[in-house]
Structure 1
């Protein structure tokens, strides 16, 4: 799987009560915490530019983040950007999370999750020059897996935009935005 080689900015949604409690949110449709709203508002200054599109998942935490971070835009919803379905592990401590390659009980297989995320991102990159994607930490892990070869590493911070830029040598530069 590959990502179309065009620059884009990715941002994880603001903090949710589940994030604050160290629980897996997955497809649970949780709102933002007060801190998450403040994080999204703080990101507004960094995101104050012209975007060809703002794309979000179908979960309210991304919609609320976009409302506060880029209020001048009406985002498009791409369900392919939804977080992974963790099945029986939804709302359980992150410490209980299975390795990414292992399908959680009654959950979504990693290969299926990765395929739908890459398909959604490639749809955006096919049609838009400068997209802003507001989604989830799992989506970022898919990006890391495709670009860096592994989904593992530190969890991306809430509401901190990251620029993904294809480089001349067929690699990608991943930098804070």
Structure 2
């Protein structure tokens, strides 16, 4: 896809992030560090884009941790905290029955499925209702990405970032599931590549 830049922000830290728990589509609030990361992301955006930030589209996953991150970064930019749109296609990958567990818990309680996922991180779908593979998330976000026609700020999740990378040709299916997605930083997608800001 040849497109305008996307400024992607992963939500700030939650207690479940700090504990290494799979959040998936569970709603979890930002912790104190996560609130600070939201403001930090706003300052980084100001440094990247300067003036004109008020005129860009702002899109967020409808989950609490992403909405509060968006509101924190918009506040740091001096913008109306509520001046953004949510899109359900940006919600986090569903981990089904594994949500709330750590990877250590999964490997102990469900070793065969954990090994199957290790063999195919991109295509594997965990057990349970609402579970998805990264490939399924990529299909979910593709129409949204194709609809963007100007620079856009997106606040979403680590799993969504990996799906966006592959969809935009900025990472391979083999590479993306293994990449760390930082909190409080900006992942810039432009000209078929990616960089952290």
TM bucket by the smaller chain?
A: 0.7 to 0.9
Q: Unmatched 5+ residue regions in structure 2? A: 107-113
Given the two structures, how large is their TM-score scaled by the length of structure 1?
A: 0.86
Whether 1:32 and 2:30 are equivalent positions in the alignment is: yes
Q: What is the number of residues matched between the two proteins?
A: 167
Matches within 5 A, 1:26-175: 26-48=24-46, 49=50, 50=53, 51-71=55-75, 72-73=79-80, 74-95=83-104, 96=106, 98=117, 99-106=121-128, 107-123=131-147, 125-126=148-149, 129-146=150-167, 147=169, 148-150=171-173, 151-166=176-191, 172-175=192-195
TM-fit CA distance, 1:158: 0.9
TM-fit CA distance, 1:155: 1.9
Q: Secondary structure at the match of 2:194?
A: strand
Structure number, greater radius of gyration? 2
Separation in structure 2 between the aligned mates of residue 115 and residue 155 of structure 1, nearest angstrom: 21
Cα deviations by residue, 1:73-112 (Å, 9 ceiling, x for unpaired): 4110010000011100111113436333111002124433
TM-fit CA distance, 1:163: 1.2
Give the conservation status (yes or no) of the 8 Å contact 1:4–1:122: no
* Higher helix residue share: 2
Q: Secondary structure at the match of 1:70?
A: helix
Given the two structures, how large is their TM-score scaled by the length of structure 2?
A: 0.78
TM-fit CA distance, 1:58: 0.9
Cα deviations by residue, 1:22-57 (Å, 9 ceiling, x for unpaired): 011100011101110011112221122415111000
Greater shift, 41-50 or 25-34, is seen at: 41-50
Match of 2:196 in 1: 176
Give the conservation status (yes or no) of the 8 Å contact 1:66–1:134: yes
Give the conservation status (yes or no) of the 8 Å contact 2:134–2:159: no
